[in-house]
Amino acid sequence: MNRTPRMAALGLAAALALAGCSSSGGKKATESSAAPGGKANTPSMTVALVTHSGPGDTFWDLVRKGAQAAAAKDNIKLEYSADPDGTKQASLVQAAVDKKVDGIATTLAKPDAMKGAVGNAVKAKIPVVGLNSGSDVYKNFGMIGFFGQPEKVAGQAVGDKLKSAGAKKPICIIHEQGNVGLEDRCNGVKEKVPATQIVYVNGNDLPSVQSTVTAKLQQDKAIDWIVGLNADITLNAVKAKKAAGSSAKVGTFDTNADLVKAIQGGDVEFAVDQQPWLQGYLAVDSIWLYTTNGDTVGGGMPTLTGPAFVDKSNVDAVAKFAAAGTR
């Protein structure tokens, strides 16, 4: 072996040794997704993650897992809180400002309610990043970055998919009134398929979601597509379809492990995947990068984590990650 291959082999061995360690004291990286590759030796920071939905929602559980993985890697203490009420969510952001945290990652599902608190964080020179919702307003709020998908564009992509499938009378289910991202999704679908009907349900009461959708399908047999805006709502819509004896096809935004199985089983045609784990990870990691190296991500534009489609053609590749709780 000459010198060049020998040095390359040594470098590879060192890289593999590093990759095999984690912040838990040398455990294999495969044993914990919290901090593959080791833990930063930079000073400890506190970052607040404030969202408009919290524990118990499978989508937001994925966002939180991603944020926790970045926090573990970056020597960050992560403080997570959530409230669907815009005013109360803003109060949580303000509490983080008052506590003088080192960074804030937050959603802007109800941007008018959030503007004041985010502005106070910016005035206090606390770096703030947006995630999931608010891609069209985050720069106006003084945030240093955004991680997610443009919801109107995602809705239009679904509309195009339905149109190419010959959809005549879809329904689009909104489970949280006043959430601008959800409204954008359904409006995007409606732009492409004008006959789309928007149906409002109470996302906090899944049995009522099922009964409302069942009644709608029984009343109107012409409905040929059902579009849900998150996995839990859509899985209840699948139950409603069966209860109503409907032949409508089902599509959705967002995934979880059960939703992936529904695609594999043929109960759901497709899901729009915006990669929630990645949103949480990138949001927290970007604050660490900004604080430790002055880096910003996105070049003044949103960093897009979607939309992408999961369907029969690629669901098996995604399934193993969904089973591990990261997709």
Is residue 74 a contact partner of residue 116, using CB atoms and an 8 Å limit? Answer: no
What pLDDT shows up at residue 126? 98
In a domain? residue 226: yes
Q: Looking at the structure, do residues 261 and 156 belong to the same domain, yes or no?
A: yes
What pLDDT shows up at residue 291? 97
What pLDDT shows up at residue 277? 96
Query: What is the tally of structural domains in the chain?
Result: 2
In a domain? residue 16: no
In a domain? residue 248: yes
Q: What CATH code is carried by the domain that includes residue 205?
A: 3.40.50.2300
In a domain? residue 95: yes
Name every residue whose Cβ is closer than 8 Å to that of residue 116 and which is 6 or more positions away in sequence: 90
Q: Looking at the structure, do residues 142 and 157 belong to the same domain, yes or no?
A: no
Q: Looking at the structure, do residues 133 and 184 belong to the same domain, yes or no?
A: no
In a domain? residue 185: yes
What pLDDT shows up at residue 37? 58
pLDDT in tens, 182-236: 999 999 999 999 999 999 999 989 999 999 999 999 999 999 999 999 999 999 9
Q: Looking at the structure, do residues 268 and 157 belong to the same domain, yes or no?
A: yes
What pLDDT shows up at residue 35? 42
What pLDDT shows up at residue 22? 34
227: which 2 tokens? 């579009």
Q: Looking at the structure, do residues 280 and 255 belong to the same domain, yes or no?
A: no
Name every residue whose Cβ is closer than 8 Å to that of residue 232 and which is 6 or more positions away in sequence: 57, 58, 203, 206, 256
pLDDT in tens, 112-146: 999 999 999 999 999 999 999 999 999 999 999 99
Q: Looking at the structure, do residues 236 and 156 belong to the same domain, yes or no?
A: yes
What is the enclosing helix (H) or strand (E) of 259?
helix 257-265
In a domain? residue 249: yes
In a domain? residue 280: yes
Q: Looking at the structure, do residues 260 and 113 belong to the same domain, yes or no?
A: no
Q: Looking at the structure, do residues 83 and 218 belong to the same domain, yes or no?
A: no
Per-residue burial over 85-104, b if 16 or more Cβ lie within 10 Å, else e, is ebeebbbbbbebbeeebbbb
Q: Looking at the structure, do residues 96 and 209 belong to the same domain, yes or no?
A: no
Query: 270-273 and 308-311: which strand pairing?
Result: antiparallel
In a domain? residue 31: no
Q: Looking at the structure, do residues 123 and 168 belong to the same domain, yes or no?
A: no
What pLDDT shows up at residue 3? 40
Along the 327 residues of the chain, how does pLDDT read in single tens digits?
A: 444 333 333 333 333 333 333 333 333 333 334 445 578 999 999 999 999 987 778 899 999 999 999 999 999 999 999 999 999 999 999 999 999 999 999 999 999 999 999 999 999 999 999 999 999 999 999 999 999 999 999 999 999 999 999 999 999 999 998 899 999 999 999 999 999 999 999 998 999 999 999 999 999 999 999 999 999 999 999 999 999 999 999 999 999 999 999 999 999 999 999 999 999 999 999 999 999 999 999 999 999 999 999 999 999 999 999 888 898
Q: Which domain holds residue 45?
A: 41-149+275-296
Q: Looking at the structure, do residues 172 and 247 belong to the same domain, yes or no?
A: yes
Q: Looking at the structure, do residues 64 and 123 belong to the same domain, yes or no?
A: yes
